[in-house]
Amino acid sequence: MKKSHNVLLSNSKDLINNSVNSLKKDGIVVLRGLFQKEVLSEIDKNWDLNFKYPSLSGTIGYFRTSHAKAVLPLFLLGKSALKVALEKKVITIIESYMKSKCTLAEANAVWHKPTNYVYFPVHSDFAEGWKKSDNSKYELSKKDIRSPVGVGAILYLHDTKAGAFKYSLGSHKLFSKYGQHLKNYPERMRETINNNTVICTGKKGDLILFDDRGFHGPDQPSKKDRSVLLLDYYRNKTFGHVLVTPHIIKITDISFLDATQLRVLGLGAKEMVKREEYVSTRFKNNYFYKALAWCIDNAYFYTHVKALLKLKLRKRIR
């Protein structure tokens, strides 16, 4: 980033307060060296296993949600992913900044393919009138949006320059006055937002925390792949104890979590979106879905016919 004070080492003095102050001022902070190499190595190992092929009929693999993006529910990467998402220092920073308890509302591992066009433009995640879906009961008010209703987090899984995260410093203080899309803002405001945007090139293991109300997105077009963990923590005083959709977790991975971590993870929380309506199920609307479903349903037809023929032959021999 252009402002070096926004990059804080995990062992730096007064890390919590300095991180909170950076979020208040600029809407973003980068934490470096927070996770041990063993944690990152375990994530890499499980990443290679899960992102080798798409998931088909229960096989291990990712969900394809667009040409340029593949997604995996984060905690299928195992215990190390939980250690990242529920790091106690991170929880303390977020809850101190929000002045509220928080809930980890969304958590995904995301692989971005390189493209020569912008497929995910700069945006704000929240604005007055925001609802997670048409069926959501809760709608953000003008008063709500003046508080940090959500804090996003992105973990780089490799040294990242191409496709790095970018953020418009201080844009969270605009409170998304003209909505979530930059194109709807007056020209002078668009110029200010763009001029204040920094590209967060970083090292493997860097964790970026940012106020979701600020304008942000991946730097595109990009000529290289980008592998990241994406998380979003919602403010309980605004939304209550809710998840966007329940996390998929291996029960054997959660034994080390304490009461605070389990609460942030969503124990006892309500859901905003049912799993069958979540973005990871988007392929059901794809043109090829029915054809591929037919192929999978009939993948064992040969063995079925083979078994029937054997049965007939046995009857004839008798």
Mean pLDDT (10-residue bins), the chain, 318 residues: 67 94 97 97 97 94 91 97 98 98 97 87 95 82 96 97 94 96 96 95 97 95 92 97 95 96 97 88 91 94 90 80
Residues 264 and 175 in one domain: yes
Residues 34 and 144 in one domain: yes
Alpha helices in the chain, H assignment, sequence order: 15-26, 37-50, 79-85, 88-98, 187-195, 236-239, 259-265, 289-297, 301-317
Containing domain of residue 310, as a range?
287-318
Residues 302 and 172 in one domain: no
φ and ψ at 73, to 5 degrees? -55, 125
Residues 197 and 303 in one domain: no
Residues 278 and 292 in one domain: no
Residues 110 and 219 in one domain: yes
Residues 19 and 147 in one domain: yes
3-state secondary structure 119-141: CCCCECCCCCCCCCCCCCCCCCC
Give the per-residue pLDDT at 4: 43
**From residue 261, how far is each of 32, 90, 92, 154, 269 by CA, in Å?**
21, 11, 11, 18, 13
CATH number at residue 130: 2.60.120.620
Select from 133, 126, 173 the least CA-distant residue to 150.
126
- Provide the residue count of the chain: 318
Residues 234 and 186 in one domain: yes
> What's this model's pTM, rounded to 2 decimal places?
0.93
Residues 136 and 15 in one domain: yes
Residues 177 and 296 in one domain: no
Beta bridge partners of 100: none
Residues 149 and 193 in one domain: yes
d(CA 87, CA 67): 32
Q: How many domains, the chain?
A: 2
Residues 296 and 148 in one domain: no
